[in-house]
Amino acid sequence: MNAKITATGAYLPEKIMTNFDLEKMVDTSDEWIKQRTGIEIRHIADKETTAELAAKAALDILKNSRLSASDIELIIIATVTPEHPLPATALFVQEKIGAYNAFGFDINAACSGFTYSLSVANAYIRSGMVKNALVIGAETLSKIVDWQDRSTCVIFGDGAAGVLLEAVDDDSVGVLDMVLHSDGRYTDLMIVPAPGSRYPCSEEVIKNRDIYIKMKGNETFKMAIRSIAGVSQEVLDRVGLNFGDVDWMVSHQANRRIIEGVAKRVGLDMNKVIITIDRHANTAAASIPLALDWAYKSGKIKEGDIVLLNSFGASLTWSAGVIRW
């Protein structure tokens, strides 16, 4: 059995924050943000929670599929901004959509969360353990961003999106293969230090602003292009394809310059590269499925296309997958 994406779905919070709004909050400019990152606007979840965003994306996926909530067997939510430390956000999503025949859990692999989750769902389906899975990336990064830190607050956004993965008796379609990597020597490149077992909740961690994202952006940037290009080559080699066979590259949307750098390094024309960072910003685990959903619904990705997914995230995780749509 292979696992095929049979539907996509997405949800973005209504509130939009522009670069000009950010100019009023920190010492930055629309020009700097656009030139350094490619971001023009981002969606912000003012009142909504991660599970609410994810449930709305799940309902959109179901609307676009042949299945109803009671048919779903597995729910994986990729997130670094869960509803609570426990229980898993997937359980709140299960309750909101009424998918009571499923089991669910969360995966934290930062911006690689969606590809990591897709690989897990793929393995469950290939093993025969389940026949379908909802795989959703959902983030409310605005709630862990330090709105006083211009080097991070301008790059993140909120949103949720995902796919329905279903078993198909055809090994030429669906997820052809995936490769995942992580390197725990670089955990300091991007971290939210508290609250956790090392730094439990206290007045001290709040005073130190340790409850917010801390990122060494430039050092992360330098490692990204080489790692993404490398893992993409690795997964294409495993399935006997090359970059010339790729119809669409859907990358984690962290920085337009990173995506362009990868395309240049592997010799892929930018008209085969999906770009959504201008209007979504970096939505961590939600960014690849948001881009996939847009690319599919706008008619770019078509049945039979070879789609290369690749990601790079904290700290460090990187991965790639090849899908025949």
Please report, as residue ranges, which positions from 229 to 258 form the binding site for ligand ACO (by CB under 6 A): 254-255
Identified binder of ligand ACO from the candidate list 313, 321, 322, 325, rule CB under 6 A: 313
Q: Which of 103, 5, 106 is nearest to 51 (CA)?
A: 106
Catalytic residue among 43, 108, 252, 255: 252
Give the interface segment with ligand ACO, choosing from 202-210, 265-273, 290-298, 309-317 (CB under 6 A). Answer: 309-317
| Distance in Å, CB of 32 to ligand ACO, minimum | 4
Distance CA 262, CA 166 (A): 30
| Distance in Å, CB of 173 to ligand ACO, minimum | 30
Would you state the structure tokens that stand for residue 158, as one six-digit string?
């909120």
For position 111 contacting ligand ACO by CB under 6 A, the verdict is yes
Distance CA 139, CA 288 (A): 12
Going 147 to 50 to 80 to 256, the CA torsion angle's sign is negative
- Of the chain, the end-to-end C-alpha distance in Å amounts to 15
Please report, as residue ranges, which positions from 166 to 185 form the binding site for ligand ACO (by CB under 6 A): none
Is the backbone of residue 267 left (phi > 0), alpha (psi -120 to 50) or beta?
left
For position 217 contacting ligand ACO by CB under 6 A, the verdict is yes
For position 224 contacting ligand ACO by CB under 6 A, the verdict is yes
| Distance in Å, CB of 6 to ligand ACO, minimum | 28
Name the residue nearer to ligand ACO (CB basis): 57 or 224: 224
Give the interface segment with ligand ACO, choosing from 13-21, 52-60, 126-134, 148-156 (CB under 6 A). Answer: 148-156
Q: In this structure, which amino acid lies at residue 39? A: I
Neighbours of 300 (CB within 10 A): 16
Q: What are phi and psi of 247, to 5 degrees?
A: -85, -40
Name the residue nearer to ligand ACO (CB basis): 151 or 182: 151
Give the interface segment with ligand ACO, choosing from 45-53, 162-170, 243-251, 306-314 (CB under 6 A). Answer: 306-314
Give Cβ neighbours of residue 287 (< 8 Å, ≥ 6 apart): 111, 114, 137, 252, 253, 254, 276, 277, 280
Q: Which of 78, 124, 68 is nearest to 101 (CA)?
A: 68
Name the residue nearer to ligand ACO (CB basis): 72 or 224: 224
Told to judge if 84 belongs to the known catalytic residues of this protein, a careful annotator would answer no
For position 151 contacting ligand ACO by CB under 6 A, the verdict is yes
For position 110 contacting ligand ACO by CB under 6 A, the verdict is yes
Give Cβ neighbours of residue 234 (< 8 Å, ≥ 6 apart): 179, 320
Give Cβ neighbours of residue 56 (< 8 Å, ≥ 6 apart): 11, 160
Cis? peptide before 316, omega within 30° of 0: yes
Told to judge if 252 belongs to the known catalytic residues of this protein, a careful annotator would answer yes
Catalytic residue among 2, 43, 108, 111: 111
Identified binder of ligand ACO from the candidate list 160, 314, 322, 323, rule CB under 6 A: 314
Q: In this structure, which amino acid lies at residue 42? A: R
For position 159 contacting ligand ACO by CB under 6 A, the verdict is no
For position 291 contacting ligand ACO by CB under 6 A, the verdict is no
State the residues that interact with ligand ACO by CB under 6 A: 28, 32, 36-37, 110-111, 150-151, 154-155, 190, 217-218, 220-221, 224, 254-255, 282, 284, 312-314
Q: Which residues are catalytic?
A: 111, 252, 282
